[in-house]
Amino acid sequence: MPTRYLFITGGVVSSLGKGIVTASLSLLLQRRGLKVVPLKFDPYLNVDPGTMNPYQHGEVYVTEDGAETDLDLGHYERFLHQNMHRENNVTAGQVYYDLIRKERAGKFLGKTVQVVPHLTREIQERIRRLARDGVAVVIVEVGGTVGDIESLPFLEAIRQFHLEIGKDNALFVHLTLVPYLGTAEELKTKPTQHSVMKLREIGIQPDFILCRSEKHLPKSVREKIALFTNVPMQHVFEIPYVGTIYEVPLVLHKQGVDQAIADLWHLPGEPDLADWTDLVKRIKHPRHEVTVALAGKYVHMKDTYKSVYEALTHAAAQLRLRVHLRRVDTQRVEREGAEPYLRDVDAVLVPGGFGKRGVEGMIQVARYAREHGLPYLGLCLGMQVAVIEFARHVVGWADAHSTEFDPQTPHPVIVLLPEQKGVRQIGGTLRLGGYEARVFPGTLLHRLYGADRIVERHRHRYEFNPGVREVLEQAGLKVAAESVQGGLVEAIELPGHPFFVAVQYHPEFKSRPLEPHPLFVGFLKAAQEYHDKRYPLLAEA
C-alpha cells in the first residue's frame, strides 16, 4: 500500500484546536491498525521554540531525543501513545537555515535560490522523510492560519506535493470557525467561505471542512458551507465544544469523519475505541474530589504547563478523581505567605521554570508542605527549590541558594556543573531529553515506579550540587534516584513525610491517558488520603 498523506490547515482564527484534531484523526486511523506519523509545521523563523518565553509560545515540549518542540507534539504523543522525534516538528527557521547552509556549501552554484522551488522542495523533503518503515499515513498539521504571509511557503509546498502524489493518496482537511451571533441568533458561515476562498486562491481545494462551533450545525448551514466551499455536504463536519479534549476523537468518529477518509482511501475495518470510550467516561464521571495547588510563575497562562495539567488528568481518570486546580502565583506568596493559599488544599505541585521571579515564594510553598505533611510534587525547578528550602531550614544554611538566582551564595546547593561525559548539551548548556536513571530500592520513588531503571526527560541547566549531597542526606533528605551516567541527583524525597517527592526531570512529558505516570498517580492518591483526613466523614460516605 502506498503511503497516504493527510494535510490539516486552519482558517479564520488561531487556537481552534488544530493540534487536537490532528491528534484525534491520527488516533482514529491508528486504531484501524495503520501506522500513522504526524508532522507539525511551524511557520515562524525561530529554529525551535526553546528560546521563546511562555507568553509567546506556551509550553515547550521535550521529546525523548532531546528536541524542544511545539506543544502539539505532546498531544500527538498522548493520543497515539507513541514517541515523537526531532523530525516530527519542522519550523520555517529550520528549513531556511538548512537551505542557506546548502547555498553556502555551493550546492546551488550558478542558480538563483528561491522560495519556489528550492524552499518548497526542502519542505516536501521533510514530509517524504517520514514515509518509511511501513508508515501508512503521514498527517501534516500546518501551523498558523490560512492567509498569513508566513504559512504561504508551506501551503505552496503541500499544494505541489498533492499534485505530485495524486488526489487518491493525499487529502486536505480544513478546520474553521462558525461563530454564533447572539444578536442575529444565527450561525455565520461567511468566515468559513472566506478562508476557503483564500485556500483555493493558492490552489488548494479542501476535501473536508471541520467546523468548530458552539452550536450544532443544522443541515441548512452545512448545505450553505458545502455550496460555497465546493465540498460535498457529507464532508462538512462539526466539532462541538466538549468537556475533555479526549472526547474529540469520539465525536469525530460518531459523525463518520474517519469512515469518510477510509472510504476515499479504500481502507478496510473499523477503529477499536473501547478503551478510549472508557477513558472519557472515567474523566467525565469522577467519584471523589481533591484540590491541588499549582504554585508557579505562569499559572495564569493556559498553555504554559500543558503537560502537567494533562498528566494530572490522566492520573485522575485512573483514580476516578475530579481535580480542582488552584493556581497559586508564587509572587503573591512572597507578599502574603503560603498559608492563605495552601491551608485548604490537598496537595501542592511546583512545576519547572527559569528565572528568579517567584522563586522565594516557591521556597515558602515547599517549606509549608514539608512542615504540614502536605503532599508535594516538585518538577525540575520544583525540586531545586525543595533542596534550597531543606538546606536553609533543616540544615541551617540560611543563605543557601541556587547559583542561578544568587551567584555569590556561600552555600550553593544547586549549581552549574562542568560538561558531563555522555550528557547532551544543546545551545551550549541545557541538559535535554531522555536520560537513564537508577532508582534506589527502599524509596517511595522505587515503590511508585516498581522499577530499578527509568528513562525520563530533562530540560534544565542547573544540578543538585554533588558537594553538599552528604550533608543534606545526613540531615534527612533522601536521594531516591541518580543518573546512570555521571551520578547526578535525579530525585529526592523526605522519609517520614506522607508524600514529598521532587525530581530533576519532567515526568509530565511521559504521561499518557491510558498509561498515567506513576508519580502523578502516587501524588493524587496522597492528595486523596490527605483530603480524607481533613474530611473524615466524607471519606466514610
Instruction: Write out the catalytic residue numbers.
Output: 380, 506, 508
The grid cell for 215 is 452550536
> CA nearest 245: which of 484, 416, 74?
74
What mask of x and - would describe binding to ligand GLN in positions 370 to 389, judged by CB under 6 A?
----------xx--x-----
CB of 433 to ligand GLN, least distance (A): 13
The phi-psi region of residue 168 (left if phi > 0; otherwise alpha if psi is between -120 and 50; otherwise beta) is: alpha
Say how many Å lie between the first and final Cα of the chain, rounded.
57
CB of 462 to ligand GLN, least distance (A): 3
Question: Does residue 460 touch ligand GLN according to CB under 6 A?
Answer: yes
Please identify, using beta-carbon distances, which residue of 189 and 409 lies nearer to ligand GLN. 409
Stretch that binds ligand GLN, among 63-71, 89-97, 247-255, 454-462 (CB under 6 A): 454-462
Please identify, using beta-carbon distances, which residue of 25 and 479 lies nearer to ligand GLN. 479
Cell match 498553555: residue?
A: 303
Question: Does residue 461 touch ligand GLN according to CB under 6 A?
Answer: yes
What's the length of the chain? 541
Please identify, using beta-carbon distances, which residue of 353 and 513 lies nearer to ligand GLN. 353
CB of 430 to ligand GLN, least distance (A): 7
Stretch that binds ligand GLN, among 39-47, 58-66, 97-105, 455-463 (CB under 6 A): 455-463
Residue 362: burial class (beta carbons within 10 Å; 0-12, 13-18, 19+): buried
What mask of x and - would describe binding to ligand GLN in positions 397 to 426, judged by CB under 6 A?
-------x----------------------
Question: Does residue 459 touch ligand GLN according to CB under 6 A?
Answer: yes
CB of 290 to ligand GLN, least distance (A): 24
How far from the centroid of its chain's Cα atoms is residue 217's Cα?
30
Stretch that binds ligand GLN, among 76-84, 145-153, 215-223, 456-464 (CB under 6 A): 456-464
Please identify, using beta-carbon distances, which residue of 97 and 354 lies nearer to ligand GLN. 354
Question: Does residue 250 touch ligand GLN according to CB under 6 A?
Answer: no
Question: Does residue 462 touch ligand GLN according to CB under 6 A?
Answer: yes
Q: Which residue is nearest to ligand GLN (CB)?
A: 352
Please identify, using beta-carbon distances, which residue of 157 and 501 lies nearer to ligand GLN. 501
CB of 461 to ligand GLN, least distance (A): 4
DSSP 334: H
| Cβ count within 10 A of residue 491 | 29
137: three-class secondary structure by DSSP: strand
- The 3-state secondary structure of 194-239 reads HHHHHHHHCCCCCCEEEEEECCCCCHHHHHHHHHHHCCCHHHEEEE
The grid cell for 278 is 472508557
CB of 354 to ligand GLN, least distance (A): 4
H runs (alpha helix) in 320-452: 330-336, 339-342, 359-372, 381-390, 444-449
Inter-residue contact 510 to 306 (CB < 8 Å): no
Please identify, using beta-carbon distances, which residue of 78 and 459 lies nearer to ligand GLN. 459
CA–CA separation, 514 and 31 (whole Å) = 14
DSSP calls for 489-505: EEEEE-TTSSSEEEESS
Per DSSP bridges, beta strands 89-91 and 36-42 are parallel
Phi, psi values for residue 347, rounded to 5°? -175, 160
Stretch that binds ligand GLN, among 30-38, 320-328, 453-461, 489-497 (CB under 6 A): 453-461
Please identify, using beta-carbon distances, which residue of 432 and 494 lies nearer to ligand GLN. 432
> CA nearest 291: which of 347, 330, 243?
347
Number of residues that bind ligand GLN (CB under 6 A): 11
Stretch that binds ligand GLN, among 143-151, 159-167, 244-252, 459-467 (CB under 6 A): 459-467
CB of 307 to ligand GLN, least distance (A): 12
What mask of x and - would describe binding to ligand GLN in positions 336 to 365, judged by CB under 6 A?
----------------xxx-----------
Judged by the rule CB under 6 A, the positions of this chain that interact with ligand GLN are 352-354, 380-381, 384, 404, 459-462
